[in-house]
A = this chain, B = another copy of it.
């Protein structure tokens, strides 16, 4: 068990290209670069905002693709330029995290890193920072720590984490050894998890010492480790860009969950109940945002509702959106696209995007 520093770095993964929030999430501007919640800040900006003051911006690393690097710099103007790491191509989360890891290891090899998706909403930022601190303490004991989201429904869209024995924490907050990671369950199984207790949603937020993660990559993902070694050796040299471009395509496409977490020997879970939501589809927004007495939510735009209930309106510009006698509807207007769909069909947005891809209607993707 190594005793790491108290310094936490954040590794924000901002290279994703989700289609489930189409037409707001587009190839040219995926959802992390959009103000999905109508808060006046993009999801990426909120991801960084909520770390303050625990993790100041000079300790925030953002990993993204070439196409999105300008957006990151534009949306986070105070982020030091060297803190934006550009993947030559998207190869899933393990290589992205590995790239951040070798950069951080040059700065502070004893550090703890918190790995954060850039496209989640968290209502209670203070509670989230407390959880990160608890997790950092557990990580200092040599654990790979996952933050486990307390489930409030038998959701079948997330992986689950089953806890085992409790672990001591400096602040007395709960932490457990992880028994196992579980794939997305069917409804029956998810109901059982909820009834039995001791299961958490895996939100893809991890906290660990650099050395712990590096050792597991070396052990479980030797091909990635070789790539990272090659890139690490060139960091700060004139060959850095060239080596990165040459070595990167050899990195295996694998997620940190599957590639590392699920088979690591010392994994812990720190539960959190901080109003987390990954806004997996438009229907999720309804759980997150405050509604009026008729259940209507106006994220943006100008809405006139006559006898309408439980409707989410996502307007663009100054168009007046009038709904009469509708229920459980989602209306998303981006100016060039108008989407109308019931909450419980929100997952079919994916099918629309696929159809537009087949039709090569690039302007809408």
Q: Which residues of A contact B (CB under 8 A)?
A: 23, 304, 306-307, 318-326, 329, 331, 333, 335-342, 344-345, 348-349, 351-352, 355-356, 361, 364
Contacts and interface: CB of A to CB of B under 8 A. Distances in A.
Given A307-B345, A342-B325, A345-B325, A337 B352 contact: no
Contact of A338 (B320, B336, B361): B320
Given A355-B304, A355-B306, A324 B338 contact: no
Nearest to A353: B322
A351 B320 contact: no
A351 to B, nearest CB: 6
A352 B304 contact: yes
A93 B326 CA distance: 37
Contacts of A326: 329, 340-342
A320 to B, nearest CB: 5
A324 B304 contact: no
Contacts of A23: 322
B338 A338 contact: yes
Given A324-B352, A326-B342, A329-B340, 19 more contacts: A306-B348, A306-B352, A306-B355, A318-B336, A320-B336, A320-B338, A320-B361, A321-B337, A322-B337, A322-B341, A322-B352, A323-B340, A323-B341, A324-B340, A324-B345, A325-B342, A326-B329, A326-B340, A326-B341
A338 B325 contact: no
Nearest to A333: B338
A345 B341 CA distance: 18
A355 to B, nearest CB: 7
Contacts of A352: 304, 306, 322, 324
A324 B304 CA distance: 22
A339 B322 contact: yes
Contact of A340 (B331, B336, B348, B351): B331
B337 A325 contact: no
Contacts of A345: 307, 324-325
B324 A348 contact: yes
